[in-house]
Amino acid sequence: MIRDPGEVPRDGFFLLRGEERLRKWRSAWCDWATGIAVLVALLLTPLLAPFPAFAGGLDRAGLERLFPAPLVVGERDGHIPVWPILKQEAGSYEVFAYAFETIDFARIPGFGGTAPNLLIALGPDGTFRDARVLSHHEPVFLEGLGSEPLFAFVEQYVGLSAKQPIRVGRPNARASGAAPATTVDGISMATASTRVVNETMLAASLAVAREKLGFGGAQLGLRVEARPEGDPLPLAALERRGWVTVWRPSQREADAAFAGTGLDDPEAGEPDAPFAALTIAYLNVPPIGRTVLGEAAFARLMREIGPGGHAVMVVSTGRWNPLPEAFVLGSVPERLTVQQGGLTVNLRDAAWERGDLAPGLPAGPWTILRIAPEAGFDPASPWTLAMKVTRERGQIFPDKVSRDLSTEYRLPPELFLREIPEAGPGWTEAWRARAGELGIIAAALGLLVPVLVRQRGLVAREDAFSAFRLGFLAFTLGVVGWYAQAQLSIVTLVGVTRALVQTGDLGFLLYDPPSLLIWAFVLVTLVVWGRGTFCGWLCPFGALQELAAWLARPLRLRQITVPPRLDRALRGVKYGALAAILLSAALASPLADSVAEVEPFKTAITLYFVRSLPFLGYAAGLILLNLFLYKGFCRYLCPLGASLALAGRLRLLDWIPRRAECGSPCQLCRVRCRYGAIEPSGRIDYAECFQCMECVTIIHDPHQCVPQVLAQKRGRRAARRPVAAE
């Protein structure tokens, strides 16, 4: 019997009729149940959102355990949750570090939807003195790699400076010497999570640095280097230009610094006589360095301090000497400091043997002060050299009072090359670093679309299309899954739900560009074509199952036939799993992470099957099951597939072509569809269709499509053209 043509779409794409759509919505009770559960989750989201999110929980006792004696935990800052950690130095307490929890300053949700919380101890010079993970919900570490690699990752920050932009490099980049000093080794399989942790540490540290250390608002990572060109100049010319300065503070200035202390200088001369005389030169600028040191010594010094390092020479010729006899080569001078922007710059003596300086340079004790690249020193901006002068009162236990005398030193900015770090939030680095992968995946998506759209093209040529499909599935598994780690997962939806409840910030998605690209593509194709574009082509675990089944074809394994009623019931299981996961995520229950383990993606794709036995057995079992029950996991268990099937209800197009004879009387496509996505009526169930296009190949093939075969046998005109989606 020929079905009423009015039920059958005619030509081209068309919108679903209201009646038809309604019928689809009513088609399965499980869809309703899941819809209600998702709705409840969404309703709960705004109810829970106003509750305070996480805040640091460490108190003095907790900090004392983490920073035991001889360190002492000081009083918590009155304005921000920062604790000074003190250390006894020469009889008095000095700040060793400022300790804080990152959650109080930077709440960047990770891929579990909640922000990682780390304890940071930041030294007064901006150096990380300690860094530890207090809590995290990164799925790849939980029940996956374990937390140890994350702990080791964070330990790499100790000794680095928060004044520099710290980047996450490839694994072992530092060990191989290929990365700059401000790069930390990433963790393969957890690139995106480590970037979130890096961003958290830097954002929180800079927030604290702005309040306590006076930096963090400037251009971090600014690299300034002296222009390499420039011949030696006569010393007098350098002095005239102010490139070499001689600073002669007078006795009057020195006494003024001690005004009100009642302390006099027992060796004081006339008020206008020089108290000290310091010749100061920034040696990196070639005309200065070459003149003062000579060509060979200048080249050696530049080699020693390395790229980004700085050298400042100070020669003392006055009465008061900041470089006493006891000064030790290579040590940090006690009486000399360099300051910039209100901060003291880390420096030490470069341990050069005293020798002859440039002829004409005054003779006297001298030092070359070496400043490391991490110090954040900007030689193109003014800086000050300060002398610490100490006077004493009393004989046996003298009362010491110190004062700084300082002078400004500046060089013309034209002598320097400035390399300003590219501005942009932390996730931009991830997009730059993964541009190659993104390009490859985007090209593959760009190839897939016309293949699916032009159904009379490649799809109609069975052998060629079959080869294309196998190749694309191999690409999905190898490149999208194992290489780019872009397996979409229900875990992301859990993270999104948690983030909406706790912070409303979904920025963490930007740290994983390949996954975000595929999510964007899937969302568009969901609305146009349904869930099958992802499940049939872009899911790495789905591809793994299909490739395993293809490899097992020569074995001719007998397939399990699931009775229709049981099949319908089993299909509801995946919606139940989805509802359980999303509800527990919305209620902030850790159960969400456990139920999400129903997905074997982490085991099979993210961790390359390197995992504990139960997980391994589960993933391998599903692949084995797939050989007897084709894509059994996808059809019955996958919560991500369920969520896509639900969202696919919004699909605009019925685009798989059908004939009036499909389902009545012809059942060929239904029998051949290995996904059970064609109903006896011939209608495509788009919630179950994986867009393998086998039925489309059949419908265009006059040797397979039964109405066309019969028409040819009867010598009639070929059956009417099917609805095409071109």
Comparing CB distances to ligand SF4, the nearer of 120 and 491 is: 491
Q: How far is the CB of 527 from ligand SF4 (least distance, A)?
A: 17
Residue 399: CB atoms within 10 A of its CB come to: 10
Q: Which of 121, 190, 361, 678 binds ligand SF4 (CB under 6 A)?
A: 678
CA 173 to chain centre: 16
Strand, coil or helix: 447: helix
Instruction: Give the residue with the Cβ less far from ligand SF4, 131 or 577.
Output: 577
| Nearest approach, Cβ of residue 49 and ligand SF4 (Å) | 29
Query: How many residues make contact with ligand SF4 (CB under 6 A)?
Result: 22
673 makes contact with ligand SF4 (CB under 6 A): yes
131 contacts ligand SF4 (rule: CB under 6 A): no
Residue among 641, 648, 657, 722 that touches ligand SF4 (CB under 6 A): 641
Cα gap 653→360, rounded to integer Å: 88
Is 305 an interacting residue with respect to ligand SF4 (CB under 6 A)?
no
Query: Do 411 and 380 meet the contact criterion of CB atoms below 8 Å apart?
Result: yes
CA–CA gap between residue 197 and residue 202 (Å, rounded): 9
Considering only residues 352, 541, 615, 655, which one is a binding residue for ligand SF4 as defined by CB under 6 A? 541
Handedness of CA 603, 609, 613, 616 (dihedral sign): positive
* Integer angstrom CA distances of residue 57 from 119, 120, 154, 309: 11, 14, 20, 40
Closer to ligand SF4 by Cβ: residue 431 or 630: 630
Q: Pick between residue 40 and residue 479 the one whose CB is nearest to ligand SF4.
A: 479
Q: Which stretch binds ligand SF4 (CB under 6 A): 257-265, 375-383, 554-562, 688-696?
A: 688-696
Residue with tokens 């420096």: 347
Q: Which of 118, 197, 323, 634 binds ligand SF4 (CB under 6 A)?
A: 634
User: Hey, is 618 helix, strand or coil?
Assistant: helix
Question: What is the per-residue DSSP string for 311-348?
Answer: EEEEEE-SSS-SS-TTPPTTSPPSSEEEEETTEEEP-E
Question: Considering the complex, what minimum distance in angstroms separates the CB of residue 203 from ligand SF4?
Answer: 34
Taking residue 722's Cβ as centre, other Cβ atoms within 10 Å add up to 23
Question: Does residue 684 touch ligand SF4 according to CB under 6 A?
Answer: yes
Torsions phi, psi for 116 (to 5 deg): -70, 150
Residue 276 or 687 with smaller CB distance to ligand SF4: 687
| Least distance CB 537 / ligand SF4 (angstroms) | 9
Q: In angstroms, what is the C-alpha Rg of the chain?
A: 36
Verify cis geometry, omega within 30 degrees of 0, for the bond prior to 665: yes
Task: Kindly indicate which of the ranges 47-55, 403-411, 441-449, 674-682 contains the residues binding ligand SF4, using the contact rule CB under 6 A.
Answer: 674-682
Helices (H) and strands (E) in the chain, counts: 25, 18
HEC assignment per residue over 381-411? CCEEEEEEEEEEECCCCCEEEEEEEEEEECC
CB-nearer residue toward ligand SF4: 553 or 716: 553
Interface pick for ligand SF4 out of 276, 691, 719, 723 (rule CB under 6 A): 691
> Does 604 help bind ligand SF4 (rule: CB under 6 A)?
no
Longest dimension (CA), the chain: 127
Q: Work out which of 120, 204, 526, 656 binds ligand SF4, going by CB under 6 A.
A: 656
| Smallest separation (angstroms) from ligand SF4 to the CB of 623 | 11
Sequence-ordered alpha helix ranges (H) in 91-232: 148-155, 191-212
693 touches ligand SF4 by CB under 6 A: yes
What is the nearest approach in angstroms of ligand SF4 to the Cβ of residue 72? 55
Q: How far is the CB of 633 from ligand SF4 (least distance, A)?
A: 6
Of 92 and 561, which has the nearer Cβ to ligand SF4?
561
Residue 692 touching ligand SF4 (CB under 6 A):
yes
Residues 253-292 binding ligand SF4 (CB under 6 A) are: none
- Select from 67-75, 409-417, 607-615, 671-679 the region that touches ligand SF4 (CB under 6 A): 671-679
- Give phi and psi for 182, each to the nearest 5: -95, 25
Please give the Cα distance from 203 to 244 (Å, whole number).
39
From 140, 357, 689, 719, residue interacting with ligand SF4 (rule: CB under 6 A)? 689
Pick the stretch among 306-314, 326-334, 404-412, 675-683 that binds ligand SF4 (CB under 6 A). Answer: 675-683
Beta bridge partners of 368: 313
- Asked whether the beta carbons of 268 and 255 are under 8 A apart, the reply is yes
Q: Tell the burial category of 526 from Cβ atoms under 10 Å away from its Cβ (0-12, 13-18, 19+).
A: buried
Angstrom CA distances, 598 to 136, 486, 641, stand at 21, 18, 12
**Which of these segments, 222-230, 363-371, 464-472, 669-677, binds ligand SF4 (CB under 6 A)?**
669-677
580 near ligand SF4, judged by CB under 6 A: no
* For ligand SF4, the closer CB: 226 or 598: 598
Residue of 503, 690, 699, 722 interacting with ligand SF4 (CB under 6 A): 690
* Selection from 229, 207, 165, 191 nearest residue 56 by Cα: 207
**Number of other residues whose CB lies within 10 A of the CB of residue 78:** 6
Output 141 or 690, the one with its CB closest to ligand SF4. Answer: 690
Stretch that binds ligand SF4, among 446-454, 497-505, 635-643, 646-654 (CB under 6 A): 635-643
User: Per-residue x/- mask for ligand SF4, residues 506 to 535, rule CB under 6 A?
Assistant: -----------------------------x
Check residue 58 for interaction with ligand SF4 (CB under 6 A): no
Tokens of 43: 């309703």
Q: Which of 312, 314, 484, 695 binds ligand SF4 (CB under 6 A)?
A: 695
* In contact, 599 and 521? CB cutoff 8 Å: no
Tokens of 86: 């003190």
Q: Binder to ligand SF4 among 251, 533, 675, 699 (CB under 6 A)?
A: 675
Residue 499: helix, strand or coil by DSSP? Answer: helix
Q: What is the Cα–Cα distance from 308 to 225, expressed in whole angstroms?
A: 7
Cis peptide before 70 (omega within 30 of 0): yes
Rank residues 301 and 522 by Cβ distance to ligand SF4 and give the closer one: 522
- In the complex with ligand SF4, which residue's Cβ is closer, 361 or 619? 619
| Tokens coding 328 | 């030790």
Nearer to ligand SF4, 30 or 85 (CB): 30
Of positions 110, 322, 542, 648, contacts ligand SF4 by CB under 6 A: 542
Determine what percent of the chain falls in helix, strand and coil, rounding each to the nearest 5: 45, 15, 40
Least separation in angstroms between CB 2 and ligand SF4 = 22
CB under 6 A: which stretch of 20-28, 391-399, 421-429, 537-545 binds ligand SF4?
A: 537-545
86, 202, 206, 539: which one binds ligand SF4 (CB under 6 A): 539
Q: Both tokens of residue 123? A: 């030294």
Segment interacting with ligand SF4, rule: CB under 6 A, options 228-236, 512-520, 582-590, 638-646: 638-646
The CA distances from residue 186 to 109, 204, 665, in Å, are 19, 20, 60
DSSP 165-187: --EEESTTTTTTT-S-TTEEE--
Q: How far is the CB of 659 from ligand SF4 (least distance, A)?
A: 13
- Please, are residues 263 and 393 in contact by the beta-carbon 8 Å criterion? yes
| Interface residues toward ligand SF4, by CB under 6 A | 535, 539, 541-542, 633-634, 638, 640-641, 656, 673, 675, 677-678, 684, 689-695
